[in-house]
Structure 1
């Protein structure tokens, strides 16, 4: 009898899951590598040596910012791959490959382009985000965190978090804390101003965590082990939702009441209630491997894959 009741309840949950298609798309000149949202501005980094800025309310491109081409290992001229971007006021950040030894180029754009780091600095930076007008947080391939003083082009600190290879980081809302993920599955919560490790979040992932998000005191992790992890940062306690494939992307809604994970081999996005872990919606339409998901609010999302189409979603779609 218990088995029959359980089967019936599970059937009801599956039946209640809403399947949605994108309400709109944004076509990009290149393959999307990173994406950030600031108010109504969606900033998209591409592998064609530029970022594209979109006004998501008026549905129009407002700006394109290019960086210099690079030479590949064969000596051929080609666009630089912009692998990380950010925006703060009228300042834009562009982190790219240099074509030399795996080292990075870091640019700041405000009316004109200024290079902060080049291949000559021999730095292997994977991700960069603004902290304020004067500082940039850097995530190194070696799983080091550093805080860069923009004016002096010097790091105020650099801290080795572990011996595992870096995967991703995500800042909290006021940019006082950041969570770092790596190939070990352990997540480190770090104080931004000092680089001090405040807490370790572990036990829910046992392999590489490709992506993380950090909202309203909660962290989500997208795992190679097919686990979508959720942690309460204050208590360091967590849980996970099992997927059926490598999970490449995740995002939390602003209140952290909802979480998005790419849970299957078709790159569909599953939306869950973080309290009950029940699936709310299944978003279908991604064409290739998903790399970025962003909640604009509790019901509107943007997602990007390794292609030239950014998808727009609305969970309240009729």
Structure 2
């Protein structure tokens, strides 16, 4: 009898979940590696040495910014892989690997000019960078160090080790006062951006590498190698998780944090959950490759990018 009831509940839940196809698709000139959304602009970094900027909702390309090629380990010239990008006002950030010793190249594009800020000579093994404001950037190092960089002085205001584990990802909150760092241990560190001080440690929901994190409205989501999609209330430190059936490579929270997206299965589908009830409310089908970025534009529209040349636009218009 219990088994029969369980099957019945599972069937009801299955039929309650709406499935969606992409509302639109963006074809890129390269494989997507990173993506940000800001004030009607979608900025996509590629492995072909450039970023592409699109207007939303028109999905019209308005800008493409390239950086010089780099040498591979054989000494041949090849496009620089843009690992991280961002935009603030009319200023764009392009962080790439240099092919030399694992050190980074970092460029700032503004007023139709692209200037190199960091080169391999600076010996910075950076993985991710984001603007804090017009004059400062936040760095995530491979060694799981956080640094605040001053663009005017070209110096780090601080650089602090968060743990001995390898860095995976970071995400800032809306006013860019705090950032959450994830690493291969599964422990998340909430850091005060101004000082670099750890103000909260979030743990217990992931027991392995957390590939991606998001931070919205006081909530953090984590995409885990342990097939767990974690959720934490930053104020209380309390958390829970939703179990997937495959490695979870990407996550995104809606602006209100009432919805969370996880790449939950081996078919690269995106599952949307209500964060309060943990119930699945939508399934987005059509992604062809391993997901690396999920971004909510608002409560019912989102973007996703994977290891191919297509960005998908989704609308939860049946809800």
Output the TM-score relative to the length of structure 2. 0.98
Q: Could you say which residue in structure 2 is the equivalent of 1:49?
A: 49
For residue 266 of structure 2, give the secondary structure of its aligned residue in structure 1: coil
Tell me which residue corresponds to 2:272: 271
1:2 Cα offset (Å): 5.1
SS in 1 for 2:10: helix
- The Cα shift of 1:15 comes to 1.1
2: CA distance, partners of 1:317 / 1:63: 33
Equivalence for 2:176: 175
The structural deviation recorded for 1:9 is 2.6
Q: Give the distance between the partners of 1:26 and 1:224, measured in 2 at CA.
A: 28
Please list, as runs of the form range in 1=range in 2, the aligned pairs for 1:227-306 lying within 5 A after superposition. Answer: 227-306=228-307
Deviations 1:135-160 (A, max 9, x none): 00000000000000001110000000
C-alpha distance in 1 between matches for 2:57 and 2:214:
24
How far has the Cα of 1:73 moved from its partner?
1.2
1:13 maps to which residue?
A: 13
State the shift of 1:10 in Å: 2.7
Alpha-carbon offset, residue 3 of structure 1: 4.8
Q: Aligned partners of 1:249, 1:260: CA distance in 2, in Å?
A: 8
C-alpha separation in 2, matches of 1:35 and 1:66: 16
Q: Which residue of 2 aligns with 1:105?
A: 105
- Cα displacement string for residues 81-113 of structure 1 (whole angstroms, at most 9, x for unaligned residues): 000000000000000011101100011110211
How far apart are residue 171 of structure 1 and its match?
0.2
Q: Name the residue aligned to 1:92.
A: 92
What RMSD over aligned residues (CA atoms) do the two structures have, in Å?
Answer: 1.0
Deviation at 1:8, TM superposition (A): 2.4
Q: Paired residue for 1:25?
A: 25
Deviation at 1:231, TM superposition (A): 0.3
| Separation of aligned partners in 2, 1:74 and 1:97 | 15
Give the 3-state SS of the residue equivalent to 2:35 in structure 1.
strand
**Distance in 1, Cα, partners of 2:278 & 2:7:** 17
Alignment of 1:156-171 (within 5 A): 156-171=157-172
Q: Counterparts of 1:3 and 1:244 in 2: how far apart (Å)?
A: 21
Q: For the residues of structure 2 that align with 1:306 and 1:129, how far apart are their CA atoms?
A: 21
Match of 2:156 in 1: 155
Secondary structure of 2:15's aligned partner? helix
What whole-Å deviation, never above 9, does each CA across 1:160-185 have from its counterpart, x for those lacking one? 00000000000000000000000000
Q: Displacement, 1:53?
A: 0.2
Aligned position for 1:35? 35
Q: C-alpha distance in 2, partners of 1:215/1:24?
A: 25
**Could you list the per-position Cα deviations for residues 249-290 of structure 1 after superposition, in whole angstroms to 9, with x for gaps in the alignment?**
000000000000000011100000000000001111111110
For residues 45 and 108 of structure 2, the distance between their equivalents in structure 1, rounded to whole angstroms, comes to 14
SS at match of 1:100: coil
Where does residue 60 of structure 1 map in the other structure? 60
TM-score, normalised to structure 1's length?
0.98
Q: For residues 132 and 168 of structure 2, what CA distance do their matches in structure 1 show?
A: 19
Query: SS in structure 2 opposite 1:93?
Result: strand
In structure 1, how many angstroms separate the alpha carbons of the residues matched to 2:65 and 2:10?
Answer: 50
After TM superposition, give the deviation of residue 14 of structure 1 in Å. Answer: 1.3
Task: Describe the SS at the equivalent of 2:13.
Answer: helix
Distance in 2 between residues matched to 1:73 and 1:317, nearest whole Å: 50
1:109-148 aligned within 5 A:
109-111=109-111, 112-148=113-149
Structure 1 residue 59: Cα displacement: 2.0
| 3-state SS of paired residue (1:10) | helix
Distance 2:189 2:160 in 1: 12
